[in-house]
């Protein structure tokens, strides 16, 4: 206790795992900004979709990079 400068000590092994999970989850959600989290989740989904599109069109991606094509104007689904 002195090493960590606290007098608050809990023996977590005395609690059931589901109780520990609830304590941690409640502690996080109490201080979490849900609007910010939702924005992050949406951005992550958009990025996942982009990576999926890149994967599905890898040959075109390689060609675009190897020919120094303007990568910013490349749009998956449009034919050249």
Which two structure tokens, joined as six digits, stand for 6?
Answer: 């606290």
CA 77 from chain centre, in angstroms, equals: 26
**Alpha-carbon gap, residue 56 to 71, rounded angstroms:** 16
Name the band, by pLDDT with cuts 50, 70 and 90, for residue 2: low
The predicted-structure confidence for 5-51, as pLDDT tens digits, reads as follows 777 777 778 889 999 999 999 999 999 999 999 999 999 999 999 99
User: Average pLDDT over the chain, rounded to whole?
Assistant: 84
């Amino acid at each position: 206790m002195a090493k960590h400068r606290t007098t608050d000590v809990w023996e977590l092994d005395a609690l059931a795992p589901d109780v520990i999970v609830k304590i941690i989850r409640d502690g996080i959600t109490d201080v979490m900004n849900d609007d910010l989290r939702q924005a992050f989740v949406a951005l992550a989904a958009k990025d996942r979709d982009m990576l999926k599109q890149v994967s599905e069109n890898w040959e075109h991606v390689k060609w675009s990079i190897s020919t120094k094509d303007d990568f910013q104007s490349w749009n998956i689904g449009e034919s050249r």
